[in-house]
Every structure is written in structure tokens, then in C-alpha cells.
Amino acid sequence: MTNFNWLLDGSIVGLYLLVTMAAGLYVRKYVGKVDDFLVAGREMNVYLGIASLAATEFGIVTCMYTAEAGYKYGFAGATPGIAMALSMLVIGYTGFCIKPLRDSGVITIPQLIEKQFGPRVRWAAGVVIVLGGLLNMGVFLRIGGQFLVTIVGLKVTSFDLWGFQIGYLEAMMTVLLVGVATYTILGGMLSVLITDFLQFVVMSVGLIAVTLLVLVYIGWDKIVTTVETNYGAGGFNPFVHPDLGWPYVLFQVMLNFAAVLTWQTTIARVLAAKDSMTGQKIYVRTSFFFVCRFLIPGIWGIAALATLGQVTNTLDAMPTFLATFVPIGLMGLCVAAMLAADMSTDSSYMLTWGSVIYNDIMAPFRKTEWSEKKGILINRMIVAVIGIFLLFYGLWYPLEGDVWTYLGITGTIYLASISVLLIAACYWKGANSWGAFGSIFFAAAIPVAFLILEKTPATRDMAKQIGPYYSGIAAYVCSAVAMVLFSMIKPRDAGGAS
């Protein structure tokens, strides 16, 4: 059962989609160079940067995993948001790494890494960035489709189309992908920035409206009482929660600090800014949003716990709750807000990983400089291929456990090494290619090994004993140690990076 009305709410959603698509397609005529396509000509100001960064880093998948964290862990589930906000505030205020990165004029982080460690390290860095990024994003479409199917109340799982049975989840995933890919492929970063601004406005209005509704009709006292009743002190303090503890907190600090430094979709806003000071201001002024990013959907998750009680599928708890809680009319705004969030995230991520493939992985295979026209065409083809991969991976990969943990482990595949490489490239002249390769190897091998152990029946129990938090911590520590040890074993040649 759902309050979604296809005539009223469907019209609101349809109007929003029409305006967004029109705005995204309109700016395609301004894309004349590869820089326009990938970094919007580096003309982004502070306010557009804040809106774009906030919209990009809040998709349906964000809302789902943060609500699930609230449902499973109470207010302690907002710990990653606090860690990210503090990291962004400190890095933005000091300019740590992001100032030399933006001042260098590069389009991607591996370009800067090449200056210290050479072209082979740049290529390897590009590979692990794309590997971690695509594995991370691979579940976005499925989770977005799952939210939409649940909230609009599609009880049957499939429909007949010309004699073929088409699943509603698969149909939702395909529609989401086609819509986002269309304006991203044609307009690149310019389309992403323009639509991000519209999506930020709609997303903000929808989030605030639904949260106020929850606070009025569920009540803050009931939300707090629900956390106390179900989780006790652990619902407020992650250190004493039986499923979290200090390994969880330490892993979140490492993960989020590295993400603020090197998560390519976040860094893309710094690189597209007018100058390094603009990039720093974007970080500082957006920092508190990342607390809200975890806290607001977390409150929705707690409200779902208060209303529905314990459910088997914790990921579906929040959309199941909203489906009958949000009234007609406001439901259309809520769905439009979630679509706004999801379209912004998907478009930015597709463009970001595409830029790394084009600039860093394909670079050694370009014997001559490509024309701007050919470069834009290749970038558009890359985005299209990424979209196809995401669709099939989302259908194939069986997601187990909570979503945020999966995203943290897959993100660590590249965050653990690239953050170390970036810091070394900016501040340690003694670092060399041996250290860089060692860092990349250990940072990728540990989380990949954990994912394999987790999916292999014979080793699943061992993976459960190790846990994602210890394996994540090990990846960051081993990555940093490998950089130092291997760099010391082979001192950097006087002639340059080697």
C-alpha cells in the first residue's frame, strides 16, 4: 500500500524530470573542448560548487544506506557523517593537498601523481581508481530502482511487454540510467553543474519537508525513546555499540579523511573551481552538510523503526515507511527530491570515472594528441560504456550486509593508496615509484581479498571473524607503511622520479 498518486504525484515527478532534462540538454552547445566536457572550463564559483558537491554526494543510495544506519544503529549510525564533516572542514581550512592539487592545473589526481612517480604509476593509479569507483557505484542503480519500486507501491514484480516479462526493478534501473546518461553524454560537466543546481534546490525542499513531517507526527521524543529502547547507550555512542566499537570509528575516520582528499567526484569540484581558494571555500562551507547527509535520513530510519518495528530487510524499512506516511502531493515532491538526488549522483560519478579512464588509463595508448572533437567523442563513448556496465553489474551482484560497509570496503581499494600517493606527491620529495607501487598493491589487495573471502562459502566464516573494519584499517596502515619502506629501500634517483 502506498500514498503515491499516479495522477497528482506522477505529474509533479514528470514535470521535474522534463525541466531537468531540458536544462541538461540545453548547455550541450557550449561544449567545444575536452576541458569544457570534464571540468566545465574551470569556471565554477563557490555557490555553484556548494550546490553541486552537496547534490552529487546525496543520491538515493545515500539516503538508503544512511536511513539503514539509523534503523540499525540509532544516532550512532551518523558517525561517518561527523567524520567526513570534520575532515572536510580541516582540509578546506588548511588547503592540505587540495591547494597544490588545484594549483597544478590537472584534471585528475593521477596526473599530479605522475609528476613525482612517473607515467607507469599514473596508469596503475588510474586503474585502481576506476576499479574501486565502478565496484562502488555498481550497486547505485539497483538500490535506486529498489527505492522507487517500494515507494510507489509496485507489488507485482514484473509486467508483460510484447510477450516478454520485464521486471519493474530492472525497468526502473534502465529508465534512471537512460535519463541520466543522455544529458551527461551530451553536455558533460556543464550539464552536470546546471542540473546539480536544480537538483540541489528540489532535494533540499523535499528533505526539509519530509523531516518536518516526521518531527511533527512521529515526534522527537518518540524517536529518542525508540533508540534508547532498542539500542540503549550504543544507539548514541558508537564506541559502546556491540556491532560497532572502536574499529568502526577508526575505520570511518580513515575512510572519510581519505575520501575528502581523493574521492574523484568530490575532488572534481575542487579541480573545476576558478582557483584553489574557491575550492577551499567550497569544502569549508559544505562541510556541515555531510552531518545532515547522515543525520536526516538516519532520523527517517529511526522513525521507520518506531513505526514498523523490526523488519527482515533493513534496507527497505525507510521507503516502506515513507510509502504510507507521506501524504499525496508531498509524496510527488519527495519522489522528485529523491530522483533529483539520484540523477545528480549518477551523472557526476559516470563523468568522473570516465575522465580517469580517458586521461590516465588511455593516455599511454595515445601516440599523438587527439583533436578536441575526437576527445569529446571518446569521452562520450566511455560514459555510455560505463552506463552499460553499471546496469548489468547492478542486476548481477548480490548485495549482502549493510550498504555503507560495502561502499566503504570497495572505496578503500583506491582511497587507501591514492590518499597516501597524493600526500607524498605534495609533501615528501623522498617518495618514489617503488613506494607508490607497494602502496597501490597492498591497499587494493587487502579489501579485494576480503570481498573474495566474504563471497566464498568455504571462507565466509573466516571473513566474518576478521570483519570489514579490521580489513579496512589494515589497508590504510599497510598502504602508508609500504610507501615509506619501499621508498627507503630504493631511494629516489637524483635525475627524477623512477
* H helix or E strand, kind and range, residue 166: strand 164-167
116 pLDDT above the threshold of 70? yes
Higher pLDDT, 391 or 313: 313
Is residue 141 pLDDT above 80, yes or no? no
Least confident range from 195-199, 359-363, 411-415, 465-469: namely: 195-199
Q: Which of 374, 497, 476 is nearest to 429 (CA)?
A: 497
Cell numbers at 81, concatenated: 557523517
Q: Is 215 helix (H, G, I), strand (E, B) or coil?
A: helix
Query: What are the backbone angles phi and psi of residue 339, rounded to the nearest 5°?
Result: -65, -40
pLDDT at position 303 over 50 = yes
**Range in 61-70, 155-164, 265-274 with the lowest mean pLDDT:** 155-164
pLDDT tens, position by position, 280-293: 998 998 888 888 88
Instruction: Flag whether pLDDT at 497 surpasses 60.
Output: no
pLDDT confidence of residue 39: 45
Global model pTM greater than 0.85:
no
Q: Which of 410, 360, 413 is nearest to 140 (CA)?
A: 410
C-alpha cell at 460: 565466509
Q: Which segment of 26-40, 240-254, 308-322 scores lowest on mean pLDDT? A: 26-40
Q: What is the DSSP letter of 40?
A: G
Pairing, β 158-161 against β 164-167: antiparallel
Average of per-residue pLDDT across 180-205: 64
Cβ atoms of 123 and 360 closer than 8 Å: yes
Q: Residue 279 above 50 pLDDT? A: yes
Is residue 222 within 8 A of residue 47, CB to CB? The reply is no
pLDDT at residue number 41: 45
**Coil, strand or helix at 164:** strand
Of 132-141, 179-188, 209-218, 373-382, least confident by mean pLDDT is: 179-188
**Rounded CA gap, 204 and 52, in Å?**
12
Helix (H, G, I), strand (E, B) or coil at 371: coil
With pLDDT > 90 as the criterion, what percentage of the chain qualifies? 31
The predicted pLDDT at position 229 comes to 94
Provide the pLDDT for residue 476: 96
| Residue 62 banded pLDDT, cuts 50, 70, 90 | confident
The stretch 427-440 carries a mean pLDDT of 92
Reduce the DSSP state of residue 178 to 3 states and report it.
helix
129-133, 196-200, 279-283 — which is least confidently predicted? 196-200
Residue 342 pLDDT class (50, 70, 90 cuts): confident
Give the range among 119-123, 185-189, 257-261, 403-407 with minimum mean pLDDT. Answer: 185-189
**Contacts of 307 by beta carbon, 8 Å cutoff, 6+ apart:** 218, 321, 325
Mean of per-residue pLDDT scores for the chain: 81
Tell me, what DSSP letter sits at residue 312? Answer: S
Rg (CA), the chain: 22
Residue spans of alpha helices (H) in 164-218: 168-217
3-state secondary structure of 493: coil
